[in-house]
Every structure is written in C-alpha cells, then in structure tokens.
Amino acid sequence: MSCSAVAASALLWLAAAPAGASPEAATPPPATALEPFFADIVGRAQSLKGRAEAMRKTQGAADAAFKTDLADLAELDMQAHQRLKARGTDGDLTCILRGIAEDLPVKMAALQMAADEAARDLALREMIYLLNDNIEVIVTPPSVTSDLAPGGV
C-alpha cells in the first residue's frame, strides 16, 4: 500500500472515530509521543490549531508569523517522517507525517488564495482539521483492529 493510501485511510479512520468514545483514551500514548521532538510537534500543532480557530472566529488574516510557524511545523513533520523511516518503524505513522508535511503548505496556499469569506472559512476549517490530525496521529496509540483493517469490527 502506498504512503498516500495509508495516509488517506488513517485520516478517514480518525475522522470516523467519535470524540471521547475511543477505548484508546485510557491507554497511554505511544512512546514516540513522549519523545521531546515529537512532543514539540504536538505542541506547535496545538498552538497553530488554536490560532487558526481564532482567525476563523474573528475573520482575521494569517500574519507572517503564522505562515512561518506553519512552514516550520511542516519541516518538523518531514524530519519526523525521516527519523521514523531511518529507524525502520511502522510505515503508517511515517507516511502520515510525510503527507501532513506536504499538505500544510497546500492548505496555507488555499487560505492565501481564498477569494471570498466562504472560501477562506473552508480553507481554515481544512487547515484546522489537518492540524488536529497532526496532533492525533502522534498521541493516539495504534489500534490493533480498526474499521479499515481486514477482519476489523
């Protein structure tokens, strides 16, 4: 399965899980999430998500600092992809992080090119969704079975 297919499947799985209903909520985060490098990515993604949510509420524009911070996060996600790939660890997280690193600049470009309020709101919602995924894929423990896995419930 290609990285794109794995990333799409994982994002669909995350989107389908009801908030707060996950049995993994009581499970500690994976060891990767506890590493300072990955914890920094989570913290940055949380901060950017909050800023994007505030922009959506106030109809404010993305300033230079937001653009820079988003680009920095994309670079860190790519570094995370490369670290995990070098370790030879699970390909799912490795691929998903690469996909997020590639998608963040696309979402920023969509926000900058938004021609009207509706397009801007859509771009911000998609960016917020991607930033949330950036957090969740790192802190959510992998599931043994899922709706997408063969034989999953």
Contact 147, 16 (CB under 8 A): yes
pTM (global) more than 0.85: no
pLDDT (tens digit per residue) in 103-146? 999 999 999 999 999 999 999 999 999 999 999 999 998 765 54
Give the pLDDT score at 71. Answer: 98
Check residue 105 and give its pLDDT.
98
| Tokens 């499970």 -> residue | 27
Q: What is the dihedral of CA 32, 8, 1, 143, to 10 degrees?
A: 40
What are the residue ranges in the chain where pLDDT is below 70? 1-28, 90, 143-153
> Encoding tokens for residue 36?
């300072």
pLDDT of residue 89: 76
Neighbouring C-alpha atoms within 13 Å toward the C-beta of 88:
0
Query: Under a CB-based contact definition with an 8 Å cutoff, are residues 79 and 94 in contact?
Result: no
Q: Which pLDDT does position 13 carry in this prediction?
A: 44
